Structure 1
Amino acid sequence: MRSSTPALLALSLGYFSLGTASLAVIGLSAPIGAELNITPAAAGTLVTVFSLVFALAAPLASVLLGRMCRKRALLLGLGLMIVGGAAAALAPDFATLTSARVLAGLGAGVFGPAASAVGSTVVPAEQRPRALATVFAGMTAATVLGVPLSASAGGVVGWRWAMMGVVVLTAVAFGLVAWLLGPITPGPAPSARVFGQMVRATGVLPMVSTTLLFMTAQFVVYGVAGAYLAARFGATQSAISLVLFIFGIVGIIGNVSGPRAYRRLGGALTIALALAGLAIALLALSGAPSSLALGTAVFAFWAFFSSLFMAPQQTRLVELQPEQRGILLALNASAIYLGMSLGSLLGSGLLPELGARPLSVLALVPLACAGTAHVASVRTPIFVRDRITEGKDHVRADPRLP
């Protein structure tokens, strides 16, 4: 049997380019603002634009493109990201740049859920947690290398060439996906009615809500990480880069550990552990002395439990209804980016008003709501539909799930 590892790595590279494209603006906002005569804060809204478009496009794409071969859907998404990225790099003004980000966000909304769905398809069921962790590792790696490298490149060759570098990376991912993946037959073609049934299916909303609120809690602080570290721990720009690099490295370790925790503890307990770890980190950020070394340690602790969450949560959703994994993973991807957007907006708006120390306490509010949603997903009996048709549904309990 042909190894699935090269294909999974190609999908991971696509996710790396997606993550870098979405977040690189954080490090490029100053040069973008200077050239286009806008404030850095206005340039920072380009992250929100990308995230919101992704959040809307991901579930819609699963319905509108449900009959398309999944390999073609992957290439379509990457192609839109390439065109949107190139248009952004060449944009003469902020309006054009914003429009280009919309196009790139649409491509990301097509590619991201399809990549996770394909990653869970090309391996046996018992290897799904590892496969999903491999694919999503690209997003984690983007926070380690993609964002810092884009910021550094922007300072050396300018923000336009930095963005064009991401376009080249996306083109490489396009070529590898085209080469390494064969045609992949889509699952049952979802209609709008089927989509609505899946949203209302027992257990889906609590799981997706957990993802949304977990990401919101994180990005209340992480969305303004540079300003937060400077205000809370007196970090210089070089120190901020180092802390975020450590955050990403430890995050990769957490991402790799997720499938192992899933096998040993089960999905429900692994998610509870991730929630508890983030709660401890946020409390520590609030109460710790203003020591940069201690702050770095807390950020590293946070990074591990943050990345422990994603692969097990995706696996739980896939096992909820394997035949409709495309819709479920699209909903989860939408929740990820919507949470990033909401958390970043809260953090950027409240940091100047409240200061750094209370900000991590505020993040505990959506995290507590995430815990409540997770408890609901565990306590509610989870059922799997053998098939969903326009006229009848057959439901059975799935003993594999908590």
Structure 2
Amino acid sequence: MKPKDPIISEEDSTNVAASLLIVLPHQNPHLKPTTEIYGISIARRIALSAKSAGFDQVLLLTATNQIGESSKHLENTPAFAISPRNISEYLGAQRIVILPGDVLADRKWLTSLRSMETNPDSMLLDKRRAAIIETEFKTEAVADSFVGNGDPFSALQNSLATEIVDLGGPGSLVLKPKTKPTDIENWLRSCLVKDTDGFLARIIARPISLTITHHLINTRISANTMSVFSASIGLSGAPFFLSSKPEYQVIGGLLFALHSILDGCDGELARLRFSESHLGGLLDYWGDNIVHVAVFACMAIGWSLNAGASWSHWPLIGGCTAVLGTIGSASFVHWRTMMRTNRTHKKAEGPVFTSVAQSSGTDISKILDGLARRDFIYLVLLLSAFGKASWFLVLAAIGAPVFFLLLLWVAYSEAKVKTK
């Protein structure tokens, strides 16, 4: 099966692709490119990770008699399986990243390689993990490095100004002779931990959700199904906050915490399967916020029912401010995301909310990002043990509208910077 010709820009016929990832022939005798990990072959995982990282094209170098088999695993990806001797036909990219065949990479690490700064016609080299090349005139030298059975990295060092760097990190995995599929599974799950996870989420929720995801990944349960199931768990816990009794509030708090844990599974499943979608992001995002609104509302009603007649209206007022602040913040973030998508004309995929700020993080945006995490759920559970879950409503009644106002301020500040 002959790979398709690369798409050539009408504006610049020499520009085959803006960014190109080249994967050298596989060297590990035990783990082949066609070996499936969580239902997706290693070759396809690399191709899809590169696509998510923004690479325009991926070349999987392989022996001529293996091109057909490898190509079957690359359908609907920007990747082609080709023989090294044909690589010159595809070298037109300005940014070229070369990976050894025994290196696995996640999208975040590949994104950093694609955007890393270097001088024209020079190379950043970590022989164990990757080479990053910025080409301008020396594309022939790059093509010649793949001729013969020598080491392409050594050949490139003779042709390009080279800086030796360390590109190691948790986003890459070097496959060794003793590496097993289970080792790759463990590494893939470790890549799912987010920098934005709160402290308690990192030590409690994420390890549990990753274990659950490990058992769900080979089933037919979809990420969207987990989003709906997680929200249902959270909503089922909300009515328990209508009571002032600790035993009922603890049940509500446990269901609320379970919702938070299971809520991590949908994104984990989607990222492991490369099935992220905007619909999935919306289900996840609004499912969370609907659960928060329901919990705050039930806290307010329950507190009002158990309060004295003279001040029973105050919990309802507090509940309204918490609910309106939550809805306002959620709607505003959603609107900003849609506006950004319309401006960039990119297909919306993945989570709706990742950060308060859309550009560089200021001190206030970092504080808001911290407050947006779900560690507060464990405070609700702690207060519930004493029948005082309603105390959290006081914090929410103040914090939710203040958070909304600060969101507006961050958006205004970013817009002001862009207009300068």
Would you say same fold, with TM above 0.5?
no
Which structure is higher in helix share? 1
Q: Which has the larger radius of gyration?
A: 2
Higher relative contact order (CA 8 A, sep 6+): 1
What is the TM-score normalised by the length of structure 2?
Answer: 0.28
What is the TM-score normalised by the length of structure 1?
Answer: 0.29
